[in-house]
Amino acid sequence: MRRYWYFLIIGIVMLTQTSCTVSVHKNLTKGETYAKMYEENPVSILVMPPINNTNNVEAKDLLYTSISQHIAEAGYYVVSPVMAMDVFKNESAYDAEYFIHSSLRKFKEYFGADAVVFAVIDKWAKEGFQIHTVISYIVKSTTTNEILFERSCDMTLNLMKNSNYGNGLAGALAGVLVDVIVSAIDVATTEHIEAARIANMHVFNDLPFGKYSPLYLQDKELMSQDKHMMLMLRR
């Protein structure tokens, strides 16, 4: 029960920082939207290296490092990303685009994974003081190859920090000046990791709880969120 309230509070906080929008998915429950997920009830999940369709060569690794945490927090056993990455590179399986439309049974045999997560990055760019990402996420069964969970996130993260430097034009200008300086000295990688973490958090917030969650199979009647999100967030 405590975990339910935790996710409820997180959801409220996210909504207060978001304009446009996380909405209910056509009045469908999670049990209806993710029927195949509940039917197969995967226990172990393997996260594939993201498919990067952008010119940002770092986007793939930045996103990969933060996906597993949110899936594990939802109650699933996640195959170690470090071990999986070593295997992918040694077996020339680092490019997930070669597997997303193929049979996934080999991953069940090798890793013991019941499902595989694919993430497709269609945009990852820093535009002024904003980071704009467009990412699609697909969870597929290693037994049937069917899609169990699918969501996408079009997110704009404003990196300008909220500051209070007094009222009036002078205060506003001072705030902008400090924000410019802070933004200039911030490590770019940290900003991109933050963007990846936030996108993953919003997407997997609607993932049905797994076997290792105290809320396992208790969320089927909750209303599901839209499969396609557009988020405008402020740091």
Distance in angstroms (rounded) separating the CA atoms of residues 114 and 30 = 20
Distance in angstroms (rounded) separating the CA atoms of residues 101 and 210 = 25
Q: Is the residue at 93 inside a domain?
A: yes
Q: Is the residue at 25 inside a domain?
A: yes
- The stretches of the chain forming alpha helices (DSSP H) are 2-16, 30-33, 35-40, 59-73, 81-90, 105-111, 168-185, 188-204
Q: Is the residue at 184 inside a domain?
A: no
Distance in angstroms (rounded) separating the CA atoms of residues 46 and 1 = 28
Parallel, antiparallel, or unpaired: how do β-strands 44-47 and 115-127 relate? parallel
Q: Is the residue at 101 inside a domain?
A: yes
Q: Is the residue at 9 inside a domain?
A: yes
**Whole-prediction pTM:** 0.79
Instruction: Give, rounded to a whole angstrom, the gap between the first and last alpha carbons of the chain.
Output: 29
pLDDT score for 188: 63
Q: Is the residue at 164 inside a domain?
A: no
Regarding predicted confidence, which is higher, 180 or 84?
Answer: 84
Q: How many domains, in total, are found in the chain?
A: 1
User: The tokens of 23 are what?
Assistant: 């909405």
Percent of the chain past pLDDT 90, that is, above it, reads 60
pLDDT bucket at 31, cuts 50 / 70 / 90: very high
pLDDT bucket at 80, cuts 50 / 70 / 90: very high
- What CATH number corresponds to the domain at position 223? 3.40.50.10610
Distance in angstroms (rounded) separating the CA atoms of residues 32 and 223 = 9
Q: How many CA atoms lie within 13 A of 190 on its CB side?
A: 8
pLDDT bucket at 13, cuts 50 / 70 / 90: very low
pLDDT in tens, 88-133: 888 878 889 999 999 999 999 999 999 999 999 999 998 888 999 9
User: What's the burial of 150, exposed, middle or buried (CB within 10 Å: 0-12/13-18/19+)?
Assistant: middle
Distance in angstroms (rounded) separating the CA atoms of residues 117 and 109 = 16
The answer to whether 139 and 116 have CB atoms below 8 angstroms apart is yes
Question: Which domain does 67 fall in, by range?
Answer: 2-159+189-234
User: The tokens of 5 are what?
Assistant: 């309230």
Q: Is the residue at 13 inside a domain?
A: yes
pLDDT score for 18: 45
SS (H, E, C) 114-158: CEEEEEEEEEEEEECCEEEEEEEEEEEECCCCCEEEEEEEEEEEE
pLDDT score for 25: 53
Beta bridge partner(s), residue 136: 120, 152
Distance in angstroms (rounded) separating the CA atoms of residues 138 and 142 = 12
Q: Is the residue at 32 inside a domain?
A: yes
